[in-house]
Amino acid sequence: MIWPTNTTFDHSPVSDWIEPVLFLREMKIPIMALEGYITKIGRKQLSVTTSALILSVATLLAGLGLWQGRYFADSPRFLTGSAINLAAIWTAYRVNVALSLRITGFLPDTEQSIYRVALWFGVYGIVNVALFWVALPLYYQAGLTGTGFDLSWALRVSFFILSGSLICAGLTELTYAFRQWRSNQAEVEQMQEKQLQTELDAVKQQVNPHFLFNCLNSLSVLIADAPATAEKFVDEMSKVYRYQLSINGPDKEDILVTLDSELRFLKSYIYLLETRFESGIGITLDVKEVFLAGHMVPLTFQILTDHAIHYNMVSPTRPLHISISTTDTGQLEFRHNRQPKVLNMPLETPGINALATKYKLLFNRAGAVQLKEDERHFSIILPLIFT
């Protein structure tokens, strides 16, 4: 007999469908619905293949257990016995699957593990032993058990079936517990990501008013003293706000942007900062062209730059030097010299913490973000995400 482990498959082989999918994408067919359908088909194919393999192995093991070496030595016994065993095992499998799902619906909580195992054992044992006794007359009619009825043999087989039912009940509970844990982890990650996205959006909204106020102050001075520079300043300022509106607006499509688009925004932002602070700030870029297609969280550089300006002295006598570069392994490094202000608030801010945690979740690795700090320099290394 075979008992279900109530297992589902989360990964399906859909690589053979890639070319048709790309062709349909070019034809502008709703690709999300199609990919969902393809995934469903692939998952079903995998489930059918796995079930067929398990049933085949279980049928062979059942025949070997019932008739030992005679099972493979006698072709009629092998064919007839395999047919009967396959029918019994398939019936047991279907009945046990249906009943096991009812048990999990009746006892869904993790602390009800003992009760679930007991019920699974009872159900599996009753169903499997009952089907074995139903199959016994078929064995005798087919001449698979010799002459006469051997009660002791039937009882021994029933005992082994009960032992196997207990083992499978434990395996079913392990599988169910793992699925519950995985589901809980997915829910926790979704909640964390939503919370972090909310915090990050709040930080972005806090950045904009301060930035606008400082820009208007600088612009009011430039209009009187340097009209040409004021015109250039307004042009770069409009580029900055156009970018911010595109990634914060209701029509935004993705939660990530390319490094190339972020750098185009950053160049306009640097112009505004250098106009405002003059020689008090210097920002250098050293980004390799091969990494420009990598993806990142939008406004990463603005959040990090504003953090550096907020917590460090920025003046012609004590300039703040910021460097943004890519590493040989395709990471981003944001680095600046430390000359901290005296502030009555902690150095850590929700903005940089939320940003770092967002990268960790997106990159699905605890060590994705690296912070390095000493008395003279501060640096943060972030991953570029290639999709």
CA distance 16 to 23: 13
112's tokens: 């009800």
* Portion of the chain with pLDDT greater than 70, in percent: 73
In this structure, are residues 244 and 284 in contact, taking their beta carbons and an 8 Å threshold?
Answer: no
Highest mean predicted confidence (pLDDT) among 191-200, 215-224, 242-251, 368-377: 368-377
- Residue 23 CB-density burial (10 A; 0-12 exposed, 13-18 middle, 19+ buried): exposed
Task: Please check the confidence at residue 173 and state whether its pLDDT lies above 80.
Answer: yes
pLDDT in tens, 9-29: 344 443 443 444 344 344 444
Three-state DSSP class for residue 137: helix
Task: Give residue 115's identity as a one-letter amino acid code.
Answer: Y
The H helix count followed by the E strand count for the chain is: 10, 7
- Full set of structural domains in the chain with CATH: 15-185 (no CATH), 226-383 (3.30.565)
Q: Which residues pair with 190 in a beta bridge?
A: none
Average pLDDT of the residues in 236-243: 85
Question: Is the full-model pTM beyond 0.75?
Answer: no
Average pLDDT of the residues in 87-96: 82
* CA proximity to 65, closest of 128, 169, 165, 156: 156
* CA proximity to 366, closest of 119, 111, 130, 189: 189
* Portion of the chain with pLDDT greater than 90, in percent: 15
Kind and range of the H or E run holding 276? helix 259-277
CA distance 383 to 138: 65
In this structure, are residues 354 and 200 in contact, taking their beta carbons and an 8 Å threshold?
Answer: yes
CA distance 384 to 291: 8
Cα within 13 Å of Cα(54), Cβ side? 15
CA distance 133 to 144: 14
Specify the length of the chain in residues.
Answer: 387
Distance of CA 181 to the CA centre of its chain: 14
User: Which three-class secondary structure string do you get for 54-114?
Assistant: HHHHHHHHHHHHHHCCHHHHCHHHHHHHHHHHHHHHHHHHHHHHHHHHHHHHHCCCHHHHH
* pLDDT range class, residue 333, cuts 50, 70, 90: very high
CA distance 175 to 180: 9
